[in-house]
Amino acid sequence: WRMPHASGLDVVSWARRHSHPAAMLMLTARDTLPDRIEGLDAGADDYLVKPFDFGELLARVRALQRRPRNVDAPVLSRGQLALDPVRHQVTVRGAPLSLTSTEYNILELLLRRSPAVVDRKAIAEHAWHDETQPLGSNAIDVQLSRLRAKLPASGVRIVTVRGAGYRLEAA
């Protein structure tokens, strides 16, 4: 689990949340059954405990390479807006839409949960999951304002649901 700036579980979980298609093998000294279950449930495709035989490691890597990867994750769309999580690309009517990584993360969350309302806490956790500094009081408002300004041609808008959060709806 120990890595310089994050735990292995955090890295695997983040990659899976962001639809990263890479095969992941956890190589660790954590050898209890609960540790192995936690690693696999976090998103690892395989789990190997130290010490290990190098031949076994190579065989496991070859086995992972033989497995088909689901690289065709569904494109999220609403109105004329489409978000491709594999290519990390957003288009409006087929034309690329330039977004910052924070704007992309917020839009992805709203699309994934649409038509449900998404609260501010969920937005902060999804958009700034790797930040160590506390967010400014208006950070979410600023990002939503910038994102709203980029969406008029998309046929969708971000609606504020007072006291509850935000949702996407047809413009």
Q: Quick one: how far is CA 130 from the chain centroid? A: 11
Lowest mean pLDDT among 40-44, 64-68, 146-150: 64-68
The reported pLDDT for the residue numbered 133 is: 64
Look at residues 66, 86, 116 and tell me which one is the last residue of a structural domain. Answer: 66
| 81 lies in the same domain as 162 | yes
N residues, the chain: 171
Based on DSSP, count helices (H) and strands (E) in the chain, helices before strands: 6, 8
How confident is the prediction for the chain on average, in pLDDT? Answer: 89
Judgement on whether residues 16 and 85 belong to the same structural domain of the protein: no
Q: Is the pLDDT of residue 49 over 80?
A: yes
d(CA 15, CA 36): 18
Residue with more model confidence, 136 or 145: 145
Separation of CA 122 from chain center: 13
Contact 158, 110 (CB under 8 A): yes
pLDDT > 60? residue 140: yes
Residue 112 belongs to domain with CATH number? 1.10.10.10
pTM, full prediction: 0.60
The predicted-structure confidence for 107-125, as pLDDT tens digits, reads as follows 999 999 999 999 999 999 8
Q: Do 118 and 136 share a domain, yes or no?
A: yes
